[in-house]
Amino acid sequence: MNTDLRQHAPASERNREPILAVLNRFLPAAGAGLVLEVASGTGQHTAWFALAFPHLTWQPSDAHEPAHESIRAWITHEAVTNARPPIHLDAAAPHLPDIETDTPVVAMLNVNMIHISPWAACEGLMAKAGDLLPPGGHLIMYGPYAIGGAHTAPSNAAFDDSLRARNPAWGIRNLEDVIACAAANALNHVDTIEMPANNLSVVYQRR
């Protein structure tokens, strides 16, 4: 009987080093603080990034309860001591769940979510970041984007078609629309970083 509850996403293995390089630029290099990871998925990133920033506390979350078992299993397997148990967080929901605030939130991370969720999830993510982040705190997002209404690669166009075929509310988002949504929630767009496999890391800072 297999008692290993860890799920594996190959993309998480491939993109963790490039995303870590971005996090090293924008997460606090010292001092205590909490990083809220929205849509933690398998939990592979949770364990990897928490170990890379031992001075920070990692708060994983996911809207899908089955993912919580995998997140907990990765935390246990990697002997991570600075990650909290996952919480249920639906980005599209109007209210935030209870988050222990003994450690102040200093940053938020969101990887590969807004193209596989309705636009309301992006709107909710930005609203929550505007509420939770202190002035100067960063929201770091990773995933595929269109720019100026055009896909950045044929593979992204094909991926977008497949997403919309699965769910018409899904799809690769236009970067300018996401930046405008952030701006409406007191978040300034501060950097766009090209990543492998035609993805981008997009960084916002709370005003």
Domains and CATH numbers, the chain: 10-206 (3.40.50.150)
pLDDT at 138: 98
CA–CA dist 155, 57 (Å, integer): 36
Structure tokens at 17: 């080093």
- Please report, rounded to a whole number, the percentage of residues in the chain having pLDDT higher than 90: 94
Contacts of 125 (CB under 8 A, 6+ apart): 38, 91, 110, 113, 114, 139
Query: Poorest-confidence range of 1-10, 115-124, 136-145, 181-190?
Result: 1-10
Q: Could you give the C-alpha distances from 102 to 57, 68, 105, 139, in angstroms and in order? A: 11, 22, 9, 20
Q: Is 142 helix (H, G, I), strand (E, B) or coil?
A: strand
**Are 182 and 207 a contacting pair, CB within 8 Å?**
no
pTM score above 0.95: yes
pLDDT in tens, 38-93: 999 999 999 999 999 999 999 999 999 999 999 999 999 999 999 999 999 999 99
